Amino acid sequence: MNLSLKLKLFTAILIGLCFSVSIAELERFEHPAKADGSLSVLVVGDWGRKGNYNQSQVALQMGKTGEKSDIDFIISTGDNFYEDGLTGVDDPAFEESFSNIYTAPSLQKQWYTVLGNHDYRGDVLAQINPILTKKDRRWLCLRSYILNAEIVEFFFVDTTPFRDKYFTETDHTYDWRGVLPRKEYLSNLLKDVDSALSESSARWKIVVGHHTMRSAGQHGNTVELVAKLLPILQANNVDLYINGHDHCLQHISSPDSPLQFLTSGGGSKAWRGDVSWWDPKEMKLYYDGQGFMTLQITLNEIDVVFYDIIGNVLHKWSVTKQVYAAE
């Protein structure tokens, strides 16, 4: 090999390295906490049905609860547009299922959104296109990203590409642009999530994805996530894993760690009666109707509250961390 060829090869490798590093890093966003350092968040999932299946009623109650809880922002756990995502950036479903539904004053906040499997059945690039943010400034949807909200860091993870069956099933098609080659995509993602979590110095760490990890609902546990993502969450002392996918409200604790599994997938069509047995020692809530969840976060405490469609509190749960007390 002559010198100029070696040089070219070296340059190519360097460029390749820079490129893989730059695409590998998760994008970061910041959201300020309230003046007193606290934060209030509303979480909804599995919603976009043009108001049908009680989506509008859930939205109405979200508005009332959002007002009372003085929420700072909203998290969507995915399956934003049924049945098949958006057809493009001009799909009227964006207005019909989002802008024209969540109209309450308290919901005019930033939405932080992930993609669900139904979103991958449409034009997936449309849903993550910044043009949608121009149409409705509340909208922020990316595949995977980090949200630093001072006392808490949220890690949004694109879970759909983990699921083997979507790559083999024939009754639906998925838009895998940006995901292939899949093995590389997943290993980069896991590496990025792992390093971002281990570098985080936030008081609380919360991971958000569409798919379940532990669930007694119709879909049950997502075995691929349990195998690949769960160990990373446990190793990095993540406090909460929040998901949708199963159309219910659910809280399951861990037998072997403080990590809690919270499902907020009750944004529209609920799956009544669709529940499997789960150890009652771990199952804190299973509600098979519609609703949503709020998180009240302070330096020392997170309060989780689940609400039904008329604002009844279904379940409350709190976790505390002691402040270091100077002698």
Ligand X SMILES: *[C@@H]1O[C@H](CO)[C@@H](O)[C@H](O)[C@H]1NC(C)=O
Catalytic residues: 219
CA 315 to chain centre: 21
Name the region of 249 (left: φ>0; alpha: ψ -120 to 50; beta: rest): beta
Residue 287 near ligand X by CB under 6 A: no
**Shortest Cβ 270–ligand X spacing (Å):** 6
Token pair of 35 as six digits? 């003046």
Instruction: State which residue, 114 or 270, has the beta carbon closest to ligand X.
Output: 270
Residue 292 near ligand X by CB under 6 A: no
> Which residues line the annotated binding site?
46, 79, 82, 117, 210, 245, 247
Angstrom distance (rounded) from CA 243 to CA 230: 13
Instruction: State which residue, 163 or 315, has the beta carbon closest to ligand X.
Output: 315
Question: What are the residues whose beta carbons fall under 8 Å from the beta carbon of 177, sequence distance 6 or more?
Answer: 124, 125
CA proximity to 316, closest of 301, 325, 303: 303
**Shortest Cβ 55–ligand X spacing (Å):** 9
Q: Is 167:209 a contact under the CB 8 Å cutoff?
A: no
Residue 54 near ligand X by CB under 6 A: yes
Backbone φ and ψ of 319, nearest 5° = -135, 140
Query: What number of chain residues touch ligand X (CB under 6 A)?
Result: 5
> Which residues line the annotated binding site for Fe cation?
46, 79, 82, 117, 210, 245, 247
- Hey, how many other C-beta atoms are within 10 angstroms of the C-beta on 327? 2
Angstrom distance (rounded) from CA 113 to CA 142: 7
Instruction: State which residue, 314 or 319, has the beta carbon closest to ligand X.
Output: 314
In the bound state, the residue with its beta carbon closest to ligand X is 54
Helix axes 182-199, 3-24, angle to 10 degrees: 70
**Shortest Cβ 62–ligand X spacing (Å):** 14
Q: Which of 53, 139, 204, 286 binds ligand X (CB under 6 A)?
A: 53
**Shortest Cβ 56–ligand X spacing (Å):** 10
Residue 61 near ligand X by CB under 6 A: no
Residue 309 near ligand X by CB under 6 A: yes
Angstrom distance (rounded) from CA 215 to CA 242: 11
Please report, as residue ranges, which positions from 157 to 216 form the binding site for ligand X (by CB under 6 A).
none
Binding mask 223-262 for ligand X (x = CB under 6 A): ----------------------------------------
**Shortest Cβ 307–ligand X spacing (Å):** 12
Residue 106 near ligand X by CB under 6 A: no
Instruction: State which residue, 56 or 221, has the beta carbon closest to ligand X.
Output: 56
Instruction: State which residue, 300 or 312, has the beta carbon closest to ligand X.
Output: 312
- Sheet of 39-44: strand order equals 139-141, 110-113, 73-76, 39-44, 291-297, 301-308, 313-320
Rule CB under 6 A: which residues touch ligand X?
53-54, 270, 289, 309
